[in-house]
Amino acid sequence: MKKILLSAPIIFFLLTLGFLYRGLENDPKHLPSALIGKNIPTFELRTLDAENVLTQEQLLGQPFLLNVWATWCYACRIEHPMLVELSKRGVKIIGLNYKDKESLAGDWLDDKGDPYIFSIFDPDGKLGFDLGVYGAPETYLVDAYGIIMHKRVGVLDERIWQNEFKDKYYALENAIK
């Protein structure tokens, strides 16, 4: 009993150490995702270079990646080739053009290639706000019923695709076949 008592401060110290060590590896910039497991927000927006108004209903039916991008976003520039590559592999990506100018966005896609099935045009950031967007680029995995399954803030690269998205995406795709 006495041994336990004497070692209590050491145990407490080690626990604290472990707790703090875990904290070192946590990314303080990472926000827990409030929308995982929830439906994508309702919206009424048109797509880039098109007049027809789109709602969340039209996104349903197949799993897809929702990629938040903008021409003013430097990291989007880095991310773009990866999205083009994914679209070549047959991954369905829908863009959300966030707080951008339409002409600039059009030029960007003409210039760098368009990996998106279409891009929702959200110049006021309204859908962006409802999604809790705080740092473009952001990528969401959405299932065929419009439920958000996963979210990544920051550049989507091959490693993140393999580790976080790939298996989930193909599982969802196989589920509807």
Residues that bind other proteins (CB under 8 A): 1-2, 5, 8-9, 12, 28-29, 31-35, 125, 129-132, 134-135
- Smaller CB separation from other proteins, 120 or 136: 136
Cβ contact 122:98 at 8 Å: yes
Nearest Cα to Cα of residue 102 among 117, 122, 128: 122
- Smaller CB separation from other proteins, 3 or 159: 3
- Smaller CB separation from other proteins, 113 or 154: 154
Residue 170 CA to residue 117 CA, distance in Å, equals: 18
Closest approach of other proteins to the CB of residue 34, in Å: 4
Q: What is the dihedral of CA 136, 170, 143, 58, to 10 degrees?
A: 80
Closest approach of other proteins to the CB of residue 84, in Å: 27
Residues with Cβ within 8 Å of 100's Cβ and at least 6 positions away in sequence, in order, are 70, 71, 72, 121, 123
Closest approach of other proteins to the CB of residue 134, in Å: 4
Closest approach of other proteins to the CB of residue 57, in Å: 21
